[in-house]
Chains A and B, each alone.
Chain A
Amino acid sequence: MTVTDVLVCALGAVSLGAAIRVVTTNQIVRAGLWLVVALGALAGVYLVLTAELLAWVQVLIYVGAVVVLMLFAVMLTRAPIGRSDDLDRPRLPAILVGGGAGLGLAAVLADAYRWSYIGLSGVEPGNAEALGREVFTGWALPFEVLSVLLLAALVGAIAISRPEVGERREES
């Protein structure tokens, strides 16, 4: 066990524990906070595996932007302090689906790598230059498609959030 192994295991355990709290807590804003912890610990895993650009991108995008977006959405609808007992959550199917998906992915990954060990000493760190060269030479098409995807998501969000035009006419 090297330092890296210990850190990866510890951060993975934190991430898993926080993820379980996300789906089991009864307090809706705290669920968002546990999600921050889970995603942050995942960023820590990336960091230890020398993918540093990816790690900070994870912090910037997922922790910094996506969860803030979710918190905003929660506060738009209803964000009570304390427990919400009316949260609708069928437990058994959720456990079956979540556990099944998790175990399936774990089995596939374990089968793919078996006991092969990849040390980090010879690996080039995933810094900006390395990742940039990859994205802008080999992966240009997915990169461009991504922009269209983001555009579609934005148009959808704006369409949903706009007040009904007909209703406003009626008012004024």
Chain B
Amino acid sequence: MDGYLGSYATLGILLLVAGAFFAVAYTANRLLRTNAPSAAKSTTYECGLDPAGGDWAQAQIRYYVYAFLYALFAVESVFLFPWATVFDALGMITVAEMGVFVAVLALGLLYAWRKGVLSWTTA
């Protein structure tokens, strides 16, 4: 194995060992644990009451907007990472490029801010 694939092979071995660890732990748990199933135990937890209604609750749209902002800034950071390692060699023009990029995305953040998306309780 050469250096590049060797490094990732090590990562692969780590994943295999972790998988073996989980297999052993789950098997041991299955063999050793107590087991006294009952219908009441496996009902949904509802603070001691009988569960009512479905298993699903309407979530707020805000979660979606935060996830969207996360995707946006994740894209921004994956461009910032390679930029951070090369901007020194490429000089001022690269900094200006990134400045424009960050500014446009900051505009998006500002828009979300102004529209009250970023504060949890607007209405």
Residue ranges of A at the interface with B (Cβ–Cβ < 8 Å): 3-4, 47-48, 50, 52-53, 57, 60-61, 64-66, 68-69, 72-73, 75-76, 78-81, 125, 128-129, 131-133, 135-137, 140, 143-144, 146-148, 150-151, 153-155, 157-158, 161-163, 168, 172
The answer to whether B56 touches A78, judged by C-beta atoms less than 8 angstroms apart, is: yes
Q: Contacting chain A: which of B17-25, B28-36, B73-81?
A: B73-81
Looking at the complex, which one of B65, B74, B115 makes contact with A64 (CB distance below 8 Å)?
Answer: B74
Task: Report how far A79 CA is from B123 CA in the complex, Å.
Answer: 27
Residue ranges of B at the interface with A (Cβ–Cβ < 8 Å): 4-5, 8, 55-56, 58-65, 67-72, 74-76, 78-79, 81-83, 85-87, 89-90, 94, 97-98, 100-101, 104-105, 107-108, 111-112, 115, 117, 123
Q: At the interface, is chain B mostly helix, strand, loop or mixed?
A: helix
The answer to whether A136 touches B105, judged by C-beta atoms less than 8 angstroms apart, is: no
Q: How far is the CB of B84 from chain A (nearest CB, A)?
A: 8
Q: Which residues of A contact B87 (CB under 8 A)?
A: 136
The answer to whether B67 touches A128, judged by C-beta atoms less than 8 angstroms apart, is: no
Chain A residue at minimal CB-CB distance from B115: A158
